[in-house]
Chains A and B, each alone.
Chain A
Amino acid sequence: MKNGIRKNRYKDNLAGYLFILPNFLGVFIFILFPLLISLAMVFMDWDYLRGFDGIDWIGLDNFKQLFQDDYFWQSLKNNVIFTGVTVPVAMLVGLIVAVFLNSFVYLKNFLRVLFFLPYVSSIVAISVVWSVMYNPSEGPINQFLRGLGIDNVPGWLASQHWALPAIIIMVAWTYTGYTMVLYMAGIQGIPKDLYEAAEVDGASKLRQFISITIPRLKPTSFMIAITLIISTFQVFAAVSVMTKGGPLNSTMVLSYYIYIQAFQYYKVGYAATVSWALFLIILLITLLQWKGQKKWQDEF
């Protein structure tokens, strides 16, 4: 009797494993295996075009190089600036748009789709269009600025001071739709009676926003912050299409630097080292955020 049950359970389990098998194989071949190889490559100097003969074990030399590599630090700095500006801007603008769309305007659905479109469009297509708009001498943005009477218009992608801000503006714009949709959902989850009670107490709309909406949206904000920080830290396509890291490396970011090392200089070992450094940095930031989250939740 007992044996029969066991047999049945075994059968059930086998079916279960078979169901996850295709997916697991996919993960194993395309994610787990490359991941382990890349970890091994950290200790190699590998000219991969020569196959396995090209492997040269060099121990920790890649790390030594990493710490002396000005480009790595410059890229990291650009990454931090990029994320540090893009995420708050996208969140703030998204929140404001969400509040307005929720209560104050007509054509709500139409506008919501409009704001969300950039997020689901191809970043490559967006980058090409924005490159044209950023054209320093003939682009519409600078023509508009000149029309306003500004003589000293920015050089945008052609200038080392404006190239990074130009990309930040564009990327923040694409993420605004994403933050907006999440915030709208969050706002709809706030009980209406809180606002009614506040109204009875004579609180202004601004007061309600600051004292009810923002605190109630903390979990949403936290989720958005984590996902956006992770994804903006890996910015690649916009840089690759618009500036290729230039001018004067002012837009060089880690993921693009990894690409250059691996596919232009064929230094896959060093590229793997930089990728793992990037991974550790993102991991660290995320862990810190999780810690912070516990604190936040304690307040409630």
Chain B
Amino acid sequence: MKQWFKGILSMALAATIVVTGCSNGKENADSEATGKGGNGGSDVVDLTIWGAVPEENGPQTVVDKWNAAHPDVQVKYVRYINDDSGNTKLDTALMMQSDAPDIFFSYGENNLFRRENSGMTAPLDELISAQGFDVDGVIGSENLLKFNDQIHYLPAYKNIDFVVLNKAALDEIGQPVPTDWTWDEFADLALKLNKDGRKGAFVTPGADLLIGKFTLVSSQPKDSFYTAEGLSNFNNPAMKKGLEIQKKLYDEGAMVGWGEGIANKLDPANELLTGKAAMVYGGAWMMRSLKDTDTWPRDFAVAFAPAPQYEKGTNVNNGGMNDFMSINNNSAHKEEAFQFMSWYLQEGNMDMIPGGRIPTNKTADFDQVTQLIVGDKQDVIDQESLGNVLKADYTFAVREKATAFPQITTISKEEAEKYFMDQQSVDDTLSAMQERADKVIQSESK
């Protein structure tokens, strides 16, 4: 009995030693870091940035440029993968403050809101006024959503969705590149482009890219998934229309089947560039692949059309501001971090353009941006239609509400899946979506 007790005691002692050892180490590191900051910049400040763009597609050039010009503030870029596990990794790092970044990018409102709500993002208003950053002139206040009356992020990338077409296939049937069109016209064109061995269109199957969602966003750009009362907006004629168009394209064989697309993890760039689909729904993020003639050698050029609309007359785009840059609320170097952010947003991110990341900077010259994107690939990229798509004036989708967003996104996908796989009618689909999403929203906002 006594020995048993002693055994436990010695173990507890050892455990305490280990634990205190760890915490000591951390405290030392912290005090060291603050010491550096307190010295008034005589020592070198190290900043870490987490982003999801691969180093070689711009970030490395950006960071190298900054480091060369600012020997006292050295920046290191760390890439994380923007998927569930990658985002969890970033969340954990921010929460535990172990190897946490000073600046981080969040992709999509869903990830941003979660980090804001958890107190991981630093409020920026003070830094903005202290360093004289012109929010209105560079980003535009209308493009920002405040959290607790403070700015917690600045967007670095204007994502524009568009349709990419195989120009040779268009010429074959004698059709011009569409400029102002609806999803009905998209479906018609897909059927015309469809032929043996090449599907007419491709829209990535999955939760984010349902045609039903595009039509819904087009009919109500602000908080498309929610009604004014805060419940779900899925049982909506616009949603119905989009889902029906998508089903028709599957049934007529103009798109690869829903199940097969998911099971094989088909990718729009690959479908288009290998000639398996004549047009795909994509966005500016695809530019990297479209320019890559080594992976996809090809003998046709690609042209660009704006995202189709629910009804004629609108020009809504499902893209919008993205690459939300925030400063870690626990960072010891917020001022230096904001200096970098401010530089990045105004000139630094020009080096991201060749990789397809369109800057949010309002003063950027879009002809120059187009030129930078296309580079020397004029033979495979139709510069004129790309320029038109990039510089057009869009109403972007705005997402302010986020109650149970991941859950209702999954619900809409699951119910649409049942419809596409002939398990239920479109009306049942809509009412099931509505009912299930409402339930989740209600239990979440309780």
Which residues does A use to contact B, with CB under 8 Å?
A: 10, 13-14, 17-18, 21, 24-25, 28, 47-51, 131, 134-137, 155-160, 163, 242-243, 246-249, 263-266
Which residues of chain B are near A159, meaning CB under 8 Å?
A: 259
CB pair A264 B10 closer than 8 Å: no
For B235-278 the 0/1 string (1 means CB < 8 A from A) is 00000000000000000000001111011100000000000000
* A246 contact set on B, CB distance < 8 A: 262, 417
With both beta carbons as reference points, the residue of chain A lying nearest to B87 in the complex is identified as A263
- Additional 14 contacts, C-beta under 8 A, given A158-B257, A265-B407: A14-B6, A21-B11, A25-B15, A49-B114, A49-B115, A50-B118, A51-B95, A135-B264, A155-B259, A246-B417, A247-B258, A248-B414, A248-B417, A264-B84
B117 near A50 (CB under 8 angstroms)?
A: yes
Return chain A residues, CB-CB under 8 Å to B95: 48-49, 51
Picked from B18, B85, B119, B414, the residue with its CB within 8 Å of the CB of A249 is: B414
Contact bitstring B349-384, A, C-beta under 8 A = 1, else 0? 000000000000000000000000000000000000
Residues of B within 8 A of A (CB): 3, 6-7, 10-11, 14-15, 18, 84-85, 88, 91, 95, 114-115, 117-120, 257-260, 262-264, 406-407, 410, 414, 417-418, 421, 423
Task: Give the nearest-CB partner of B7 in chain A.
Answer: A17
CB B96 to nearest CB in A, in angstroms, measures 10
* Closest chain A residue, CB of each to CB of B115: A49
Beta-carbon contact of B406 and A264 below 8 Å:
yes
Residues of B with C-beta under 8 A to A28: 15
Number of A-B contacts (CB under 8 A): 83
Give the nearest-CB partner of A134 in chain B.
Answer: B263
12 contacts between A and B (CB under 8 A): A18-B10, A28-B15, A48-B95, A49-B118, A50-B118, A51-B95, A131-B263, A136-B263, A155-B263, A246-B262, A265-B407, A266-B114
* B-side interface mostly: helix
Flag if A10 contacts B3 (CB, 8 Å).
Answer: yes
Expressed in whole angstroms, the minimum distance between the Cβ of A286 and any Cβ of chain B is 29
Cβ distance B435 to chain A, nearest Cβ, rounded Å: 13
Q: A50 and B259: CB pair below 8 A?
A: no
Whether the pair B421, A24 counts as a contact (CB closer than 8 A) is: no
Docked pose: A247 CA to B258 CA in angstroms: 9
B residues less than 8 Å from A18 (CB atoms): 10
B417 near A25 with CB under 8 A, answer no
Partner of B262, one of A13, A137, A158, A264: A158
Of the listed residues B84, B117, B260, B414, the one surrounded by the most CB atoms of chain A closer than 10 A to its CB is: B260
Complex Cα gap A10–B10 (Å): 13
Contact B88 A25 (CB under 8 A): no
In the complex, are the beta carbons of A49 and B263 less than 8 A apart?
no
Check if B417 sits within 8 Å of A247, measured CB to CB: yes
Alpha-carbon distance A18/B85, docked complex (angstroms): 38
Interface centre among B117, B259, B262, B264 (most CB of A within 10 A): B259
- A247 with B262, Cβ < 8 A, contacts A13-B7, A49-B114 known: yes
A137 and B417 contact, CB distance less than 8 A: no
